[in-house]
Amino acid sequence: MLSAWILAIFWISPLIYAFWAAFHPNEYAIHFDLLAPLTLSNFFEAWDQAPFARYFLNTFLIVSSILIAQFFICTLAAYAFARFDFLGSKILFAVILIQLMVVPEVLIVENYKIMSNLNLVDSVLGVGLPYMASAFGIFLLRQTFKTIPKELEE
């Protein structure tokens, strides 16, 4: 048990130091002084050096577009898998489930190649497009639609 505590202290000590350094002047970052004066100038400097407003806007646009697209795509696909028995539906659904086993990082290079061919590199749509259809969302909504009796639709 003692070794776990020692490991935990070693693990968290850089995080504690980084937190401490954020609130103290730069000259105290190298020469640790527990009673160094507190300052918020590091945060103001970081805010001024990077366009955080643009970063927030990009994040909002990407997340919003992915959310809206997933809402429509996943709902329509899940409803089709739950209610209609079309040719190859079970195989297609199995392929979607297999996609859940693929780690997203494996697809980074292929996603980049596709976005490059579509001239969508460095665009909000280019970042969000690969994530607009969610295998997990389709699976989850399909299972939910299957619990609703068909008699309620009539």
Q: How far is CA 73 from CA 8, 65, 80, 92, 122, in A?
A: 44, 12, 11, 15, 24
Domain shared by 43 and 119, yes or no: no
Domain shared by 83 and 44, yes or no: no
Domain shared by 112 and 130, yes or no: yes
Helices (H), the chain: 2-22, 27-30, 41-49, 52-83, 89-99, 108-117, 124-128, 135-147
Give Cβ neighbours of residue 66 (< 8 Å, ≥ 6 apart).
128, 131, 132
pLDDT of res. 6: 94
Domain shared by 44 and 62, yes or no: no
Domain shared by 92 and 132, yes or no: yes
pLDDT by position in tens, the chain (length 154): 889 999 999 999 999 989 988 998 888 878 878 788 889 998 999 888 989 889 999 999 999 999 999 999 999 999 999 999 999 999 999 999 999 999 988 999 999 999 999 999 999 899 999 999 999 999 999 999 999 998 887 7
92 burial via Cβ count (<10 Å: 0-12, 13-18, 19+): middle
Domain that holds residue 37: 2-49
Q: Which residues of 7-23 are buried (b: 16+ CB within 10 A; e: fewer)?
A: eeeeeeeeeeeeeebee
| pTM, rounded to two decimals | 0.71
Domain shared by 100 and 143, yes or no: yes
Domain shared by 42 and 63, yes or no: no
Domain shared by 93 and 116, yes or no: yes
pLDDT of res. 36: 85
Task: Compute the distance between CA of residue 131 and CA of residue 129 in angstroms, rounded to an integer.
Answer: 5
Domain shared by 23 and 92, yes or no: no
Domain shared by 95 and 137, yes or no: yes
Count how many domains the chain has.
2
Domain shared by 120 and 89, yes or no: yes
Domain shared by 76 and 113, yes or no: yes
3-state secondary structure at position 40: coil
Output the six-digit token pair for 80: 């089709």
